[in-house]
Structure 1
Amino acid sequence: MTHSRRSFLKLALGCGAVLGLGFFGIPRIISSRDQPSFSGSSEPHEAMFYRRLSGGRVQCDLCFRHCVVLPGTRGFCGNRLNIDGRLYTLVYGRPCAVQVDPVEKEPQFHFLPGSRILCIGTAGCNFKCIFCHNWEISTRTIEETGYIDLPPEKAVESALESRVAAISFTYNEPTVFYEYMYETAKLAKARGLKTIFHTNASMNEEPLRRLLEHIDAVAVDLKAFTAEFYRSTSFSDLTPVLETLKTIRDKGVWMEIVNLIIPTLNDDMDNVRDMCIWIRENLGTEVPIHFNRFQPAYKLTNLPPTPVKTLEKAREIATQTGIEYVTIGNVPGHEANSTKCPRCGETLVKRTHFTVHEINIIDGRCRKCKHKIPGIWSN
């Protein structure tokens, strides 16, 4: 089922302010089980970063999986289809989730605080996280979620019309709609918009470096710091995630790290300490870390929410390790929702969950002690 761009955006953008205050911000999705029809502007779009093999097979080199895709079948993510020995993306210009959100929801706390962003997501993912909060779209195909026709040009025009500061590629893993994201980001930058990439950090280096030329900020979900966690709960691998983090740092793109702490699965404080030490040694002390509270979801409804004391202990360890900007998320009203100056302790940005109440940063510096605060503070 498709929807007109105007009718869908009127619905999605009109609801954005309300949905943006939701506890986890589940995106609005269009539900349908219709097969996508390729016609007009929705003709299949040939994928980037793949190789043609013998027997009509192709190998996708976009992410760490390097899927070998047989004719007439799809890769692991469900979005890339082999048609007659060529690889095509099924979701180019076909988002199933479009919404205006506060930038704090990404979360990006050092990026134009208090601004609004246009968030775009599609069906599919290259991870299979059993705790996913957006599983309604990440575990489904485009046939199951439905979509709207919103090619890059229209996405950028919609962002400009809604007067947002940036376009964010988010909700599901944007790697699986790489071509759509790449073209939209290029156009957005050319029109004066900023861009955000929220990722599980599994993209291969070549496509990542090309994409980052058009990205202003990245939010990385560092789900844990053990290979076993990645294998057993996400059916993925930690190693490419760490390599991606170093590549982003090498490219000089602004980055913030999100660690969702799940009771009994990744709440060992020794592992948290190891993670913080690795971040300090490989990325630096100025990369913000968000310790977010888990809420029961998808296949982990049997576990309780993360105790607040666990989050506070993780924050204490990160601070002791030398990380300068550490916040606690998904606990509305906690004092660690706010960002403080590491030199003088002044509250730089006072927040309650996703709502900004006060900003004490002038020209990128603490209002009180003039300490330079890393981030993107102006257009």
Structure 2
Amino acid sequence: MSRTRTMTALRAGSARALRAVGGSLRAAVLPGRLLFAVKTAAAVGIAWLLGSLLPGETDRYSYYAPLGALVSMYPTLMSSVRSSLQTLLGLAVGVGIAAVVVLTVGPSLWSTVVAVAVGTLISGTGWFGIGREYIPMAALFVLIIGGTDAEDYSLGYVLQMAIGVVVGLGVNLLIPPAPLVSEAVERIDAFQHRLAEHLHDIADAVADAEPSDHGVWEQDAHSLAETSRTLRGALAEADESRRGNPRAWLRHTDTSREHARLELLAETAYQIRDISGSLSDSILERPSGLPLDAGIVEPLSDACRAVAELLAADDDLPRHRQAATDAVQELLHAVHRRSIDTDAVTGPGVLTAMHLQRIVQLLEPDEDDEDDDDAAEGSDEAQSR
């Protein structure tokens, strides 16, 4: 029996790993990402073509133009502009360091080492953003590849990179990227359903308390905090994608509600992690765990499932909220009864009930949201008339 349960847990873990890989692959081929790949390829090709048409010696370094295009291509317009300017500034400083060496002691092993060291120190000031990496690189390239022809090389290097940057920015302006708000919202939705799924896993683990089955959901609990941090970054990037973007001007999307929702889910994740940690300590009989009274297993499991259903609910929210409230209250009553019957505090039950009650309270709709929903319904009714 134990072996069967272990195999079930392994299959569940493998299924989750496959879902995670599938999610990563889907993210790589989203329409916005595919458009970005096509734009990047087009910018590289155009930059290389234009770079090879420059007069004089500069066309010898046309391979730097595609690099400049790559540097300037970012999923958001503001990031593209910022990274492009920072890169050109870093290149100019690096070439300037190399020029000082060429005009004084000349290129050599020791002068190149010193130039790279100076460039590395300057890059650590934090003034150049992504361009900091190009300061010692530009100095190194000019002194090693340029050598005695450092002047022509420096001109060609900077000019070709600048052409690539201009082409990349032009492509991004001509075909502006779509704001990333909808993608961020989808990821927040997925996170909410993942929290519900984790509560279901806890309910199953408590109802079938076999230590070998708990590796998967216990590990998942530790990843919830990392997921919430990642989503904060995704939402910040979504806000960045709207800045200066003509496609965002038409929508006027306000992400304040999504920020508030993410903070609510992050707090919910914290509550769930605390439940998971306490119950795993009890089930696995760790020194820090308190005994899990068999008399509260069923109401505890039911309460977890009811709150999970509330988290995952897309409609009929009042019914799910009432069911979750009733289930948590039943758990509290069961804890109270068992505490009297056994003359002992049922610690895991008390802690779980407190956290589940807190989650139900967090999921209470705000008055502003209700007003917005009422206004939307009124607008729909007016339009239908």
Bin the TM-score by the shorter chain: under 0.3
TM-score, length-scaled by structure 1: 0.24
The structure with the greater share of residues assigned to helix is: 2
TM-score, length-scaled by structure 2: 0.24
The structure with the largest alpha-carbon Rg is 2
The structure with the greater share of residues assigned to strand is: 1
